[in-house]
Amino acid sequence: MVKLGDQGWWRLGILAQIPGSQDVRSLTALVHASEKSANIARACKQEEALFGFWCRRKKATRKIRNFVSDFKTLADVLVQEVIKHDMGKKFPGLEDHIFGEESNEFTNSLGEKIKVGVCATEEDTAELLSKVLNGNMTAAELLASIVHRDVSIEDPALEKLTTEIPQDTMALWVDPIDSTFQYIKGYADEKSKDGIYSKGLQCVTILIGVYNRSSGLPIMGVINQPFVTRDPDSLRWSGQYFWGLSYKGINICSLQTDVNAATQPADDQVDVSRQKEEMQDGDDNLSAVISTSESESIKSALSMLRLYYAAGAGYKSLCAVQGFVSVYLLSEDTTFKWDCCAPHAILKSLGGGMVDFRECLKRRKLGNLDELPELVYNTPVNGATGADRWANKGGLVAYRCRKHLDTIMNIISSVNP
Q: Which residue is nearest to ligand 2IP, using beta carbons?
A: 291
- Of 117, 114, 149, 121, residue with least CA distance to 135: 114
Smaller CB distance to Ca ion: residue 23 or 175? 175
102 near Ca ion (CB under 5 A): no
Given 23, 86, 101, 277, the catalytic residue: 101
Site for ligand 2IP in 54-113 (CB under 6 A): 70, 101
- Of 394, 182, 369, 349, residue with least CA distance to 255: 349
For residues 337 and 25, give the distance between their C-alpha atoms in angstroms, rounded to a whole number.
24
Contacts with Ca ion, 332-371, as mask; x by CB under 5 A: -------x--------------------------------
Given 23, 35, 102, 175, the catalytic residue: 175
Site for ligand 2IP in 353-412 (CB under 6 A): none
Smaller CB distance to ligand 2IP: residue 202 or 291? 291
Interacting partner of 202 out of ligand 2IP, Ca ion, none (Cβ under 5 to 8 A depending on kind)? none
Q: Among 16-24, 156-164, 296-304, 311-319, which window interacts with ligand 2IP (CB under 6 A)?
A: 311-319
How many chain residues bind Ca ion (CB under 5 A)? 3
Is 382 buried (19+), middle (13-18) or exposed (0-12) by CB count in 10 A? exposed
Among 23, 178, 277, 356, binds ligand 2IP (CB under 6 A): 178
Helix (H) or strand (E) holding 218: strand 218-230
270 C-beta neighbours (distance < 10 Å), count = 19
- Residues for the chain: how many in total? 417
Q: Is 14 helix (H, G, I), strand (E, B) or coil?
A: coil
Catalytic residue check, 101 = yes
Catalytic residue check, 23 = no
Q: Is 114 helix (H, G, I), strand (E, B) or coil?
A: strand
Q: Is 124 helix (H, G, I), strand (E, B) or coil?
A: helix
198 near ligand 2IP (CB under 6 A): no
Given 339, 356, 408, 412, the catalytic residue: 339
Ramachandran sector of residue 284 (left: φ over 0; alpha: ψ -120 to 50; beta: rest):
alpha
Smaller CB distance to ligand 2IP: residue 200 or 312? 312
Q: Is 373 helix (H, G, I), strand (E, B) or coil?
A: coil
Among 291, 326, 331, 349, binds ligand 2IP (CB under 6 A): 291
Beta bridge partners, 387, equal none
- DSSP assignments along 184-209, one per residue: HH--S-PPPBTTB-SSSGGG-EEEEE
For residues 25 and 241, give the distance between their C-alpha atoms in angstroms, rounded to a whole number.
19
175 near Ca ion (CB under 5 A): yes
Helix (H) or strand (E) holding 175: strand 170-178
For residues 160 and 179, give the distance between their C-alpha atoms in angstroms, rounded to a whole number.
33
Q: Which amino acid is located at 374 in the chain?
A: E
Smaller CB distance to ligand 2IP: residue 160 or 389? 389
311 near ligand 2IP (CB under 6 A): yes
Given 23, 28, 40, 76, the catalytic residue: 76
Among 33, 313, 327, 401, binds ligand 2IP (CB under 6 A): 313
Q: Is 397 helix (H, G, I), strand (E, B) or coil?
A: strand
Beta bridge partners, 113, equal 107
How many chain residues bind ligand 2IP (CB under 6 A)? 15
Q: Among 175-183, 208-216, 340-348, 367-375, which window interacts with Ca ion (CB under 5 A)?
A: 175-183
Among 23, 35, 102, 178, binds Ca ion (CB under 5 A): 178
- DSSP assignments along 228-246, one per residue: EEE-TTT--EEEEEEEEEE
Shortest distance (Å) from residue 338 CB to Ca ion: 6
Smaller CB distance to ligand 2IP: residue 30 or 329? 329
Smaller CB distance to ligand 2IP: residue 130 or 180? 180
Smaller CB distance to ligand 2IP: residue 37 or 335? 335
For residues 317 and 342, give the distance between their C-alpha atoms in angstroms, rounded to a whole number.
9
Ramachandran sector of residue 165 (left: φ over 0; alpha: ψ -120 to 50; beta: rest):
beta
For residues 206 and 101, give the distance between their C-alpha atoms in angstroms, rounded to a whole number.
12
Q: Among 84-92, 112-120, 177-185, 318-326, which window interacts with ligand 2IP (CB under 6 A)?
A: 177-185
Contacts with Ca ion, 299-328, as mask; x by CB under 5 A: ------------------------------
Q: Which residues bind ligand 2IP (CB under 6 A)?
A: 70, 101, 175, 178-180, 291, 293, 311-313, 334-336, 339
Positions annotated as catalytic residues are 76, 101, 175, 177-178, 180, 339
Q: Which residues bind Ca ion (CB under 5 A)?
A: 175, 178, 339
